[in-house]
């Protein structure tokens, strides 16, 4: 039975939560889990190796990440509706351009558009406006809206594979372009009126003294970089594993069905942990979870790197689902919690750019390492170590930030 307070929250804030949900869903078309479905078709069409395609993908993502640092501040200066009306058609253009990619130049341009306006601007806009519109209920709002990405992860790969088998992989991208355009206009209509936080609904900002951090001030803050190192881990690691999942199955002697059948487990745990953490963060703040949220992922990587039995895939996906669910809400809550909301778009544009680049660095570097003979088990163990080190580094930083926040409030 749904608690009446939760029901009233959904009813009262439904249009903004639905708009955020749809933005996260649209970001799927620029996410690695979707683009990588067509990796073999693209490599075969252009005669690319694992490494060369990974480098091309990484370069496109890097260019998109750099562009995001220059365009992300627009969310601070323009209404969300206007930002969506520009971003959605450009994302749709990238999807359609994938069908025209007869040469590497067109392919590269399509990938840039997908990464910049899909994983980049769609998630950046959603996180930024939700972080600005909600304060005391920020964790809850982000966790519910981020279910759009979970929905995309759960539903779109199967739909894409089915449509590709029936009509060819280019038809999938035509359908994606059409869907992005239609849904983009729907989101713009939902955002026609922007939400204004006010004390009556429990959304008064308790961190007003810290609301004025600028991007330049954040970049000079020594606490910023350990936080960035920790929050970038899921994007780096998840894409490294997913992008080369076919190679993993081949070298382990698994069928592709082993990995595919583990995705529902991952999706369920991601959703459960995302929603639970949203309600939890509204009570204990995001900083409390930062030192521990990477530990499940680190353990899963160590298992996947050292155990060759198929059950290790299920264990990894379950543990990654826990970390991913926590990270989706943390990413929406921590930055405004630490640095305020006045310049949130400009600050978050740097964060999202780093995450977008990290999401491509993994596939690119992983492909080059595979070409060089460095196997995935070694890569997975090293990435598991990265999770443990990042958790250790961020622990004293969190204590420092909590002390700094308490001093400001006094």
Task: Report the C-alpha gap between 228 and 230 in whole angstroms.
Answer: 5
What pLDDT score does 75 carry? Answer: 80
Contact 214, 343 (CB under 8 A): yes
Is position 4 within any domain?
Answer: no
Q: Return the residue matching tokens 């392919």.
A: 107
| 312 CB burial (10 A radius; 0-12, 13-18, 19+) | buried
How many structural domains are present in the chain? Answer: 1
What pLDDT score does 208 carry? Answer: 40
What pLDDT score does 405 carry? Answer: 63
What pLDDT score does 5 carry? Answer: 52
Is position 206 within any domain?
Answer: no
Question: From first to last of its 410 residues, what are the pLDDT tens digits of the chain?
Answer: 445 555 576 777 778 889 999 999 999 999 888 888 888 888 888 888 877 887 888 889 889 888 888 887 788 888 889 999 999 999 999 999 998 877 888 999 999 999 999 988 998 899 888 878 877 777 778 788 888 988 888 788 888 888 988 898 899 999 999 999 999 999 999 998 877 765 544 444 444 434 568 888 889 999 899 999 998 898 888 878 877 777 788 888 887 677 777 877 888 898 888 888 877 777 777 788 889 999 999 999 999 999 988 899 899 999 999 998 888 788 777 888 888 877 777 887 888 778 877 877 777 788 888 888 888 889 999 999 999 999 999 999 988 888 886 555 45
Is position 1 within any domain?
Answer: no
Task: Report which secondary-structure segment, H or E, holds 285.
Answer: none
What pLDDT score does 68 carry? Answer: 85
Helices (H), 136-291: 138-145, 147-167, 169-190, 215-219, 224-231, 233-243, 245-252, 256-284
- Complete DSSP assignment for 290-317: TTTTTHHHHHHHHHHHH--STHHHHHHH
Task: Report which secondary-structure segment, H or E, holds 117.
Answer: none
Is position 248 within any domain?
Answer: yes
Contact 179, 156 (CB under 8 A): no
Is position 196 within any domain?
Answer: no
Chain centroid to Cα 239, Å, comes to 10
Q: Any idea what the Cα angle at residue 309 is, between residues 306 and 314, rounded to 5°?
A: 90
Contact 72, 351 (CB under 8 A): no
Query: Which range marks the domain in which residue 159 is found?
Result: 12-191+214-409
What pLDDT score does 207 carry? Answer: 43
Is position 3 within any domain?
Answer: no
Q: What is the CATH number of the domain that holds 80?
A: 1.20.1250.20
What SS3 string covers 201-224? HCCCCCCHHHCCCCHHHHHCCCCH
What pLDDT score does 209 carry? Answer: 38
What pLDDT score does 92 carry? Answer: 97
What pLDDT score does 347 carry? Answer: 83
Looking at residue 255, the DSSP 8-state letter turns out to be -
Contact 396, 287 (CB under 8 A): no
């Amino acid at each position: 039975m749904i608690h009446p307070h939760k029901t009233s929250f959904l009813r009262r804030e439904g249009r903004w939560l639905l708009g955020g949900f749809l933005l996260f869903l649209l970001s799927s078309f620029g996410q690695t889990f979707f683009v990588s479905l067509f990796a073999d078709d693209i490599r075969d069409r252009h005669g690319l190796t694992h490494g060369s395609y990974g480098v091309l993908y990484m370069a496109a993502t890097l260019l998109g990440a750099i562009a995001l640092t220059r365009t992300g501040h627009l969310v601070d200066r323009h209404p969300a509706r206007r930002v969506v009306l520009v971003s959605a058609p450009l994302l749709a253009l990238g999807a359609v351009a994938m069908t025209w990619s007869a040469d590497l130049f067109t392919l590269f341009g399509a990938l840039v558009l997908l990464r910049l306006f899909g994983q980049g601007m769609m998630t950046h806009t959603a996180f930024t406006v939700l972080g600005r519109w909600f304060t005391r209920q920020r964790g809850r709002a982000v966790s519910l809206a981020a279910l759009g990405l979970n929905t995309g992860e759960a539903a779109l790969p199967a739909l894409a594979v089915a449509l590709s088998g029936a009509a060819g992989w280019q038809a999938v991208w035509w359908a994606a372009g059409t869907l992005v355009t239609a849904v983009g206009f729907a989101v713009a209509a939902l955002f026609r009126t922007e939400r204004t936080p006010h004390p009556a609904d429990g959304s008064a900002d308790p961190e007003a003294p810290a609301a004025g951090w600028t991007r330049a001030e954040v970049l000079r803050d020594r606490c910023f970089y350990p936080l960035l190192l920790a929050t970038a881990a899921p994007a780096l690691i998840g894409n490294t594993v997913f992008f080369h999942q076919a190679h993993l199955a081949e070298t382990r002697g698994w069928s592709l069905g082993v990995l595919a059948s583990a995705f529902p487990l991952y999706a369920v745990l991601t959703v459960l942990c995302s929603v639970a953490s949203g309600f939890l963060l509204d009570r204990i703040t995001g900083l409390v979870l930062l030192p521990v949220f990477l530990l499940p992922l680190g353990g899963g990587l160590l298992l996947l790197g050292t155990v060759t039995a198929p059950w290790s895939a299920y264990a990894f996906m379950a543990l990654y689902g826990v970390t991913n669910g926590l990270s989706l809400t943390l990413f929406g809550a921590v930055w405004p919690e630490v640095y305020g909301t006045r310049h949130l778009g400009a600050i978050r544009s740097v964060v999202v750019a780093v995450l977008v680049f990290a999401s491509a660095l993994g596939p690119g570097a992983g492909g080059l390492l595979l070409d060089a003979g460095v196997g995935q088990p070694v890569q997975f163990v090293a990435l598991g170590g990265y999770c443990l080190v990042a958790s250790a580094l961020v622990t004293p930083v969190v204590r420092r930030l909590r002390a700094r926040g308490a001093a400001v409030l006094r």
